[in-house]
Amino acid sequence: MTTSLLGAPVARSEDPRLLRGEGRFVDDLGHDAFEVAVVRSPHAHARIVDIDLGDALEVDGLISVYTFDDLPERLREPLPLLIPHPSLTAGRTQHVLADGEVNHVGEAVALVVAEDRYAAEDAAERIMVDYDPLPAVVGPERALQADQAVHDDIADNVAAHLEQEIGDARAAIADAAHRLSFRLDIERSASTPMETRGTYARWDADDQRLRLYSSTQAPTSVRAAVAAYLGLDLAQVECIAPDIGGGFGVKIMHPWPEEILVPWVARELGHDVKFTEDRREHFVSANHERAQVHQVEVGFDDEGRVLGLDVEFVHDHGAYIPYGLIVPIITSTQLIGPYKLENYRVTFDSVYTNTTPVTPYRGAGRPQGCFVMERTIDRIAAHLGRDRTEVRAANFLQPEELPYDFGLVFQDGRAYRYDSGDFPGSLSKLKELIDWDGFAARKAAAAAEGRLLGIGLAAYVEGTGVGPYEGGHVLVEPNGSVQVSTGLSSQGQGHQTAFAQIAAEELGVDLADVKVVTGDTRRFPYAVGTFASRAAVMSGNAIHLAARKVREKALRIASEALEVDAEDLELADGKVRVKGSPDTSIDLNVVATMSNPLRYAFDEAARIATQFTQPGDPNAPPVAEGEAPGLEATDYYSPIHSTFANGMHAVEVEVDPDTSDVRIGRYAVVHDCGTLVNPRIVEGQIFGGVAQGVGGALYERMAYDEHGQLQNASFMDFLMPYATEVPRVDVDHLETPSPLNPLGIKGAGEAGVIPGAAAIAAAIEDATGVVIDAMPISPSQLHARRLDAASTT
């Protein structure tokens, strides 16, 4: 192999199947399964007085109905609190079916099983639940008023309060030449993958085994949870994440009530059972994210250098807190971005409200943090009358200061330590890409025509590839195919291709010979999951390490067979060959055959490995000590702490002076995620992230009314952008490899979404002169702001 596969923009091996309509998503399976429908609470907060099955039992095709009272003891326990944290003193999680009280619209109250989903919905519609409604707590500020409790025993609605500080922020602010304080808000949104949630269970009564297909980002953990709730050995349960139609965080949440109920019912009934969530359910019963209100105080010098920063924020985690404090902890640390902050204090309250629970959505607290920091820098620049890029440059950590330890604790409980990056380098690339210096002229020319142009930028640093670990298994089959597996699952990130590139590179084989399986506990039972832009870093490196072991073993075997020193051998073109004389070689598949001493020549190729053909050293065991048969290896990658990717976005917008409609012109991205395994896949992640950032800035919000009713639970009213709303994006890469892992990779999955709201807010502010301190913003809201501003000046 002359050209390296790492870094090559190879086309994806996943594609042909998906393009031909041969994908295998959960609802593509189990056509004969019973289907379930869930009776969900129409109230944000209520006690359940009575559940009357009414004439539901007469529905044609009905199989059974379950309420809390029908559940076995183990299933009556609350669902797990997945990530306990010492500060999380008042954690509550939901039940698989409501136990006498509902705390958000959409909470599961009863389960209907029927021959198909049509009949299941017919029955669900007929079940009469008598509710005694209670006042709803909606919005973080209402929660803190504490005049109404979401959970009776948590009167202040606060699940956790956390504080971190470096230096002495308040003293530094007090001593600073300039001080500002202001509030910044981000509203609720959600991952909203195109495929909703789904779970399909097959109980094999003969084998006493359960097979579960679930649209999840964490199949190994789902398996463990289901085994625990159903009282099964892990060995009896297999969980497969087949093709998944997008996750973006929401599918890292597990186990969902349905993920426990469906396999339980399948075993009870001795029949396959499937749950396919519909879109309306997804809006209210799959988790949301983002809503936070922040109070900022900052002190700075004449150059705009931040001397002290104090941020207090409230995180609205909804009705339950199954995923712990991950999102607000990420905000509180990642807020810092590429800047050198020596006096920083951050506190947050994580509060209950009667709304759908909050767990990570792509970006996971970072878009909020970025919004806070970048809007702060823009305020400083405006206050001093300085260029916004200059103020950023004045605050950057310099490349020679990295690695840099802030003295804070990150979401994994480990040090918040930036490993590498070149922020000034990124900024100069960005300025060039968007033609920052030429903007003033563009703006003036537009103004002469009565048009309003604005430009904004935002920078971020993203901790990616958090632990604890991932593993990889690599096996060369005697037919030459290379089987690679890892436990985490894929939701469209092109893992099959990227992981194949990593293995093929190490083993010198053709990409087409590498077959990758992800998210199947039958193939690889140990894993953590796909989140925090960690798959390429964690599984990528684990597969690299496993492939390296295979390579070493292949060299050992070949060196004996060829009687050449292993040092003088290389793997290329599917062979082990002598460096410099490529004609002396042995095919890798032959090495694979030889690696497994055989008694039976079940086919022609196998003859070479049988005991009379390959007698070996008669005084040594056929399988040497410390060796195992087969050309395969497993390895794990477990870093000490996260690696940190970074990037900057700049955007030019035009605001219609009459309608306040915002149109995005140019959008530029400079991105540093270390070594690029496949630049085309990384760019795809950026493009997709930017579209979500645009959605979060201008279109998407979860609009709750004061009664906790979600008013826009459909794609008609939750405005996910179409192609007409998303701009063209120009991307430039910087590669500062991470010193923390063998491949030098940093994660790329979430980056695109992080600075969107901050950059677009800045551009709108620049175009209109109106301070933008809350996102998303609609034309109606922007119009109102402009009117306010005009009337106060």
> Which residues, including other chains, have CB under 8 Å from residue 271's CB and lie 6 or more apart?
33, 34, 63, 203
Q: Give the residue with the Cβ less far from ligand FES, 78 or 246.
A: 246
Burial bucket for residue 129 (CB in 10 Å: 0-12, 13-18, 19+): buried
Query: What backbone phi and psi angles, to 5 degrees, belong to 413?
Result: 80, 5
Rg, the chain, Cα only: 28
Task: Fill in the DSSP letter of residue 76.
Answer: G
Instruction: Identify whether the C-beta of residue 706 lies closer than 8 Å to the C-beta of residue 353.
Output: no
Omega prior to 776 cis, within 30 of 0: yes
Q: Considering the complex, what minimum distance in angstroms separates the CB of residue 534 from ligand FES?
A: 20
Helix (H) or strand (E) holding 235: none
DSSP β-ladder status, 101-102 and 46-52: antiparallel
Q: Pick one of ligand FES, another protein, none as the site partner of residue 717 (Cβ within 5 to 8 A by kind).
A: another protein
Q: Give the residue with the Cβ less far from another protein, 491 or 741.
A: 491
Tell me the two tokens of residue 722. 């179409």
Question: Which x/- pattern, by CB under 8 A, does the window 265-304 give for another protein?
Answer: -------------xxx------------------------
What is the crossing angle of helices 366-384 and 388-395, to 10°?
Answer: 110
Q: Give the residue with the Cβ less far from ligand FES, 492 or 744.
A: 492
Q: Give the residue with the Cβ less far from another protein, 117 or 443.
A: 117
Q: Give, rounded to a whole angstrom, the gap between the first and last alpha carbons of the chain.
A: 69
Q: Considering the complex, what minimum distance in angstroms separates the CB of residue 196 from ligand FES?
A: 10
Residues that bind ligand FES (CB under 6 A): 194, 246, 492
> Which residues, including other chains, have CB under 8 Å from residue 746's CB and lie 6 or more apart?
462, 464, 465, 533, 537, 643, 644, 645, 672, 673, 674, 738
Candidate residues 131, 203, 248, 439; the one interacting with another protein per rule CB under 8 A = 248
Instruction: Identify whether the C-beta of residue 504 lies closer than 8 Å to the C-beta of residue 588.
Output: no
Does 495 interact with another protein (rule: CB under 8 A)?
no
Task: Fill in the DSSP letter of residue 416.
Answer: E
Candidate residues 101, 195, 258, 506; the one interacting with another protein per rule CB under 8 A = 195
At residue 250, what is the residue type?
V
Q: Pick one of another protein, ligand FES, none as the site partner of residue 785 (Cβ within 5 to 8 A by kind).
A: none
Does 684 interact with another protein (rule: CB under 8 A)?
yes
Candidate residues 688, 744, 755, 776; the one interacting with another protein per rule CB under 8 A = 688
Instruction: Identify whether the C-beta of residue 263 lies closer than 8 Å to the C-beta of residue 166.
Output: no
Task: Give the footprint of another protein on residues 631-670 (CB under 8 A).
Answer: 658-659, 661
Distance of CA 792 to the CA centre of its chain: 43
Query: What backbone phi and psi angles, to 5 degrees, belong to 368?
Result: -65, -45
Does 199 interact with another protein (rule: CB under 8 A)?
no
Q: Considering the complex, what minimum distance in angstroms separates the CB of residue 31 from another protein?
A: 5
Tell me the two tokens of residue 446. 């537009």
Omega prior to 679 cis, within 30 of 0: no
Q: Considering the complex, what minimum distance in angstroms separates the CB of residue 66 from another protein?
A: 20
Q: Considering the complex, what minimum distance in angstroms separates the CB of residue 65 from another protein?
A: 17
Candidate residues 147, 728, 789, 790; the one interacting with another protein per rule CB under 8 A = 728
Q: Considering the complex, what minimum distance in angstroms separates the CB of residue 456 from another protein?
A: 19
Q: Pick one of another protein, ligand FES, none as the site partner of residue 783 (Cβ within 5 to 8 A by kind).
A: another protein
Task: Give the footprint of another protein on residues 33-62 (CB under 8 A).
Answer: 60
Q: Pick one of another protein, ligand FES, none as the site partner of residue 31 (Cβ within 5 to 8 A by kind).
A: another protein
Query: What backbone phi and psi angles, to 5 degrees, belong to 676?
Result: -95, 120
Does 387 interact with another protein (rule: CB under 8 A)?
no
Q: Considering the complex, what minimum distance in angstroms separates the CB of residue 710 from another protein?
A: 10
Nearest to 416 by CA among 358, 350, 331: 331
Q: Pick one of ligand FES, another protein, none as the site partner of residue 711 (Cβ within 5 to 8 A by kind).
A: another protein
Does 14 interact with another protein (rule: CB under 8 A)?
yes
Tokens 């826009």 found at: 712
Q: Considering the complex, what minimum distance in angstroms separates the CB of residue 727 from ligand FES?
A: 18
Q: Considering the complex, what minimum distance in angstroms separates the CB of residue 362 from another protein?
A: 10
Distance CA 167, CA 176 (A): 14
Helix (H) or strand (E) holding 42: none
Tell me the two tokens of residue 570. 């290389």
Query: Of 20-28, 254-262, 556-564, 603-611, which part binds another protein (CB under 8 A)?
Result: 20-28
Give the Cβ contact number of residue 177 at 10 Å: 12
Q: Give the residue with the Cβ less far from ligand FES, 660 or 685.
A: 685
Instruction: Identify whether the C-beta of residue 315 lies closer than 8 Å to the C-beta of residue 127.
Output: no
Does 593 interact with another protein (rule: CB under 8 A)?
no
Does 401 interact with another protein (rule: CB under 8 A)?
no
Nearest to 546 by CA among 624, 627, 470, 643: 470
Q: Give the residue with the Cβ less far from another protein, 481 or 610.
A: 481
Q: Considering the complex, what minimum distance in angstroms separates the CB of residue 494 from ligand FES?
A: 11
Q: Pick one of another protein, ligand FES, none as the site partner of residue 20 (Cβ within 5 to 8 A by kind).
A: another protein
Q: Pick one of another protein, ligand FES, none as the site partner of residue 23 (Cβ within 5 to 8 A by kind).
A: another protein
Query: Of 116-124, 217-225, 479-487, 624-632, which part binds another protein (CB under 8 A)?
Result: 116-124
Q: Pick one of ligand FES, another protein, none as the site partner of residue 750 (Cβ within 5 to 8 A by kind).
A: none
By rule CB under 8 A, what count of residues binds another protein? 90
Q: Give the residue with the Cβ less far from another protein, 225 or 726.
A: 726
Q: Pick one of ligand FES, another protein, none as the site partner of residue 703 (Cβ within 5 to 8 A by kind).
A: another protein
User: Dihedral sign, CA of 339, 427, 721, 531?
Assistant: negative
Q: Pick one of another protein, ligand FES, none as the site partner of residue 612 (Cβ within 5 to 8 A by kind).
A: none
Give the Cβ contact number of residue 625 at 10 Å: 6
Does 699 interact with another protein (rule: CB under 8 A)?
yes
